Structure 1
Amino acid sequence: MAGKRHRRGAALAAGAGVVALAAGLSGCTGPGGEDGGPDATFAVFAEAPRASGVAEGAFDGDEPGGSAPLAALADPGWLDRTAEATGIPRRALQGYAGAALVLAEQQPDCRVGWNTLAGIGWVESHHGTIFGGSIQPDGRTSDLIIGVALDGQGFQEIADTDGGAVDGDTEWDRAVGPMQFVPATWAAWATEGNGDGVPDIHNIDDASLSAAEYLCYSGRDDGGLGTEAGWRAAIAAYNESPAYLDEVLEYANRYAEESAAASADPTPAAG
């Protein structure tokens, strides 16, 4: 769950990821064991190829309707192969890859890979499919994904910051959307990605781009996400749990390997 750091200088609390939605669905264990640990290093930087005919700079989040939407940035063939190889829903993958391509242009020193965004997307909401939902063609989740109340009962305690406008709870904050932003962090980092001019916490394009910018900010003082220190700082800003870092790492590297293998041999296996 995106929480800890804030571009306007205020410190926000980190949270509990997908287990804040439903205890036990994720498990949040990885190669470092139940409590996380020294086996966790940092994820490889995987790049998505740009779609043919879509030039650098085609996406402009400040010009709704007048630019290429984020979901159109990645190569369609690569999306097909990678979605099949990894099991990531293609529409979710469009958001992750598009966000990474935008940040590669805007903040090339950040080096946030689509695979890191996908690792977070898996842990936070199973790519928008948790509770049986899906990412629809327009990028919105078919059902609202809203976590449990962060009331300190097994989770971080975060009193209401939005009057219930984002999460529907006027007493406690809750993590919201496929990338699980708490309301105050969303208020600081909400970014437009799909071209309609309105950042939507329930839209995978908007949420992925917001998450990518948040990660780049969180890891910049430690060298960006291309370094171990920067990657770990960025993931810790999203969620401080060592077990969370382990699981994001596991899935981010797995996705990168599966995508690379599929692109190296793009011919479908004979049935």
Structure 2
Amino acid sequence: MSAKSLEGRKALVTGGARGIGAAIAQALARSGAAVMIGDILDGVGRDTAGEIAKAGVKTGFVKLDVTDDAQWERAVAATVETLGGYDILINNAGIEITSLVSEIKAEDARRMCDVNIVGTVLGMKHAFRAMRPGGPAGKGGAVVNIASVAATIAFPSIAVYSGTKSAVDRMTRVAAMEAGKLGFGVRVNCIYPGLIPTDMGLQLANDIVSIGLAADVNAAVGSVVEQTPLGRLAEVSDIADAAVFLCSNDARFITGIGLPVDGGMGM
């Protein structure tokens, strides 16, 4: 893949202020894309956009709660206006609330469903409307949804999170079929990241200890590494590189897939 495989492309990255989202935004920018950061974290999001802009990349920040239809409309309009188009969506925003099934709170389950499922499908909705022929961008494009290895394995304490990420996988495949059949010119794929030592990943490790499933954080992390054939945790760059590939012309005949980037953990 060429260093500038996304030259001229325009991307919106949700949850792009930090963690996986920020790494993907930076990788897209290095590959030649203009990038809009969408996040509820205003200050951190603007800082991330500012760092990307230092390399001479056209970028911006838009406040985006992915559960809000109207905010999606504004975010897409801002992306088209600021970047001069819109043909990549990275649906990365998500939350994980750890709980044993016997202890799950209804409000936590609903919150995860709202952000991880509703937020993802609203992103695809507004991407399709903007990217399809006759839309305000209208040149087709690529959508990459961030699922999780949790969609493919039975990992204790994250039942609802796993369910929401399984839903992301299913929605990806249906959306890819619809986009193809309706001639939208939009490819839709998802990625299953393995456990990454981001804020969310480390919080999960701490939560596993607090509910008695591991003696300490090292043991919690060690158990994940033990289940991973490549023998390490994932890195944000692993996920970012996969996202760039799926958005690029090298993946021009790939749609409706779930790509494991998990070191073999979910095989």
TM range (shorter): under 0.3
Q: Which has the higher contact order (CA 8 A, sep 6+)?
A: 1
**Greater share of residues in helix:** 2
TM-score between the two structures when normalised by the length of structure 1 = 0.26
TM-score between the two structures when normalised by the length of structure 2 = 0.26
**Greater share of residues in strand:** 2
